[in-house]
Structure 1
Amino acid sequence: MQPYCGGARPTPEILKESEKPKPYANKTIVFVSSTGKIDSAKTNNTGSLSAKLKIGDYKLYEAWRYYKKADGGFVVSDFDAECLKAEWQKEIKIVTVTKTEVKISEKNEIVEVCPWTLPCFLESRRPPARE
């Protein structure tokens, strides 16, 4: 889902469209194995990802979380440091690969938000609210 973030009051059609699921397209996902090995892959235009993984356990992260950056093109100083450190630790999935199966556990859903509602965003950096 990707919320409506425009400034004008949205029409019912715009609101309905913003509630539809959107693919996590053309984004980098970082794989971290239980042995500490790192790899990454990019989702395609439909948000799908295909990767060959050796037997083992993997945590998957959004690139901004793994590389300890700020989401949405912001700078780290726009965010509460302790809160952001906690956000960086949140993997999106855990993948376990065995000889016979691949098990995917959902951990933290990727949710697109308006820039001023990002988790940990400092109140002093938010635009003034509409009256």
Structure 2
Amino acid sequence: MKTKFTQFLRIKKEALNEAERAILVVNREIEQMQEEIASILREIASIAIPSSGAYADFLKIQAIKKAHIDELEFKKLDLAHLREKRQRMQEQLKLLSLEHEKAKYLDKLEIQKMLALQKRQEELQMDEVSLLLYNTRNGSSQFKEEA
């Protein structure tokens, strides 16, 4: 049954679905960022510091290692921002879910009212039909008795 809340309910459901999809996207971004961080950590761990050789080679390897560490810190910062974003989105999802539940409740109440009204109208119609049948049967027998 369509009610005055049906369209409102549909809009709230679409907003809820969109928020869920957005959270899934952010979750994928977080997973990718974690994989990138793990990759950088593996690269840092694989860097071998020479125990002998030219000092320039040592400085070059240290510079590479520092660049990886700087990139790692940048990725960790990005990861923290993504997690904060996900947290805000989850809070928004809770609010949207609550609004959707309210809309469902209002729609359900409206349907119950409509069904109760429809049932009452059917009862009135049945009473009217019963009264007509009663009057028709009793009215025709009254006419025979008077005649």
Report TM bin, short chain. under 0.3
Larger of the two Rg values belongs to structure: 2
| TM-score (norm: length of structure 2) | 0.23
Q: Which has the higher helix share?
A: 2
> Using CA pairs below 8 Å that are at least 6 residues apart, which structure has the higher relative contact order?
2
Q: Which has the higher strand share?
A: 1
